[in-house]
């Protein structure tokens, strides 16, 4: 019986792999379901070990998705039968196209560099085109099934409001440049709300089921947390809204969403960045196991550049702390540098 269960599980994994398109670039790994165009995004939290952290809930890709609002009717892209789906990979990343007789939505996925200079953020641009013979009202909502804050109970924080313990709405003239899910460190999702992203008209932080059940807009309540008994417990989500606009025949409209980890963005001051770096463990702790893993890893310039960046960040944190490194630690740093130097000759 166990063999049968194992065989079925392996078959399911194989089927998922067949229908998945994977892209690795810099610190980002992107997996797109070629049947629906929906995606999972991962952040390389430990380059030496090759460890990735999922930035969105990834056990079920259907829980994060875009909704097209066309003439007061909502279409969940990837599910709506009116739209055909195609997925292609190219030198710029990946392109998903949702096509109906009235509207075409092109979704361009690109891995971009933040102020760190390393490719560590995912840009997702939705270009909406009216291909009908009349004017249409077209808007977009992106529902992100967040999970990094659920274990700690610190679901969200925003630039101006700090920690968000209850449902929240950012709208009208809000000035926040980002909203985050999770606690400080590598296990944190940052959603950018300003350039290079397109500023959403509103952002809602709420229970996932409440947002999912709402075809479009949802009324928030400052007394509700992220649990909806008995259906959904401690289950947070974000919804980004770009409100409907009237678009003439042949007109197009583009909006861009940018996702990354907090460490991808230089939004803190130098002083606060140094304090944060010295207060948490270094991204790369050059110990014997990591040296062994890196020495046996396949040659990859992009990965080695990430390791080097982490090593520099670790040294910066050590210097900022004001502590004196012991000779053994210095020797490990030197060993890592020498190993990277030796690998460089093989590119």
77 and 176, same structural domain?
yes
Of 244, 264, 284, the residue at which a domain comes to its end is 264
In terms of phi and psi (left: phi > 0; alpha: psi -120 to 50; beta: otherwise), the region of 305 is alpha
Whether 33 shows a pLDDT value over 50: the answer reads yes
Predicted TM-score (pTM) of the model is 0.74
Residues 105 and 201 reside in one and the same domain: yes
* 224 and 282 together in one domain: no
Q: What is the CATH number of the domain that holds 129?
A: 2.70.98.10
Range of the domain at 337: 270-344
Better pLDDT: 16 or 193: 193
Residue 5 reports pLDDT greater than 50: no
**Residue at a domain's end among 264, 296, 330:** 264
Mean of pLDDT over the chain: 84
Give 141's Cβ-side CA count (13 Å radius). 23
Asked if 237 and 312 sit in the same domain, the reply is no
Cα–Cα distance measured from residue 32 to residue 23, given in angstroms and rounded to the nearest whole number? 9
C-alpha dihedral sign at 252, 170, 191, 221: negative
- The span from the CA of 258 to the CA of 139, in Å, is 18
Shared-domain flag, residues 283 and 147: no
Does 285 map to a domain?
yes
Does 150 fall in a domain?
A: yes
Residue 17 belongs to some domain of the structure: no
Is pLDDT above 60 for 245?
yes
Domain boundary among 235, 264, 293: 264
* Each residue's pLDDT tens digit, 281-305: 334 446 666 677 677 777 777 677 7
Query: How confident is residue 130, by pLDDT bands cut at 50, 70 and 90?
Result: very high
Instruction: Report d(CA 272, CA 96) in Å as an integer.
Output: 39
Same domain, 221 and 306: no
- How far is it, in rounded angstroms, from Cα 271 to Cα 135? 52
Q: Flag whether 287 is in a domain.
A: yes
Total number of domains constituting the chain: 2
Residue 9 lies in a domain: no
- Residue 236 shares a structural domain with residue 314: no
């Amino acid at each position: 019986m166990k063999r049968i269960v194992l065989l079925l599980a392996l078959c399911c994994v194989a089927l998922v792999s067949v229908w998945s398109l994977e892209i690795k670039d810099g610190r980002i790994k992107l997996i797109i379901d070629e049947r629906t165009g929906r995606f999972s995004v991962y952040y390389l939290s430990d380059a030496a070990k090759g460890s990735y952290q999922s930035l969105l809930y990834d056990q079920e890709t259907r829980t994060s998705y875009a909704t097209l609002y066309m003439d007061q009717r909502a279409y969940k892209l990837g599910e709506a039968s009116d739209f055909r789906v195609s997925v292609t990979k190219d030198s710029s990343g990946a392109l998903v196209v949702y096509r109906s007789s009235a509207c075409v939505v092109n979704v361009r996925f690109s891995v971009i560099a933040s102020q760190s200079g390393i490719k560590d953020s995912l840009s997702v641009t939705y270009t909406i085109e009216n291909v009908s013979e009349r004017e249409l009202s077209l808007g977009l909502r992106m529902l992100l099934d967040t999970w990094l804050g659920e274990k700690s109970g610190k679901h969200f924080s925003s630039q101006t409001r700090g920690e968000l313990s209850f449902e929240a709405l950012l709208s009208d003239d809000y000035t926040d440049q980002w909203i985050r899910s999770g606690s400080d460190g590598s296990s944190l999702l940052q959603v950018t709300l300003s350039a290079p992203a397109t500023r959403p008209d509103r952002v809602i932080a709420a229970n996932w089921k409440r947002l999912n059940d709402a075809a479009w807009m949802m009324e928030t309540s400052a007394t509700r947390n992220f649990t909806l008994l008995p259906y959904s417990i401690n289950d947070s989500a974000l919804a980004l809204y770009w409100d409907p606009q009237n678009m003439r025949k042949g007109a197009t409209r583009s909006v861009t969403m940018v996702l990354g980890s907090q460490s991808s963005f230089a939004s803190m001051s130098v002083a606060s960045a140094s304090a944060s770096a010295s207060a948490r463990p270094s991204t790369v702790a050059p110990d014997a196991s990591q040296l062994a893993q890196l020495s046996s890893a396949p040659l990859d310039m992009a990965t080695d550049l990430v390791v080097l960046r982490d090593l520099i960040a670790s040294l910066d944190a050590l210097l900022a702390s004001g502590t004196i490194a012991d000779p053994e630690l210095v020797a490990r740093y030197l060993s890592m540098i020498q190993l990277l130097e030796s690998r460089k000759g093989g590119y």
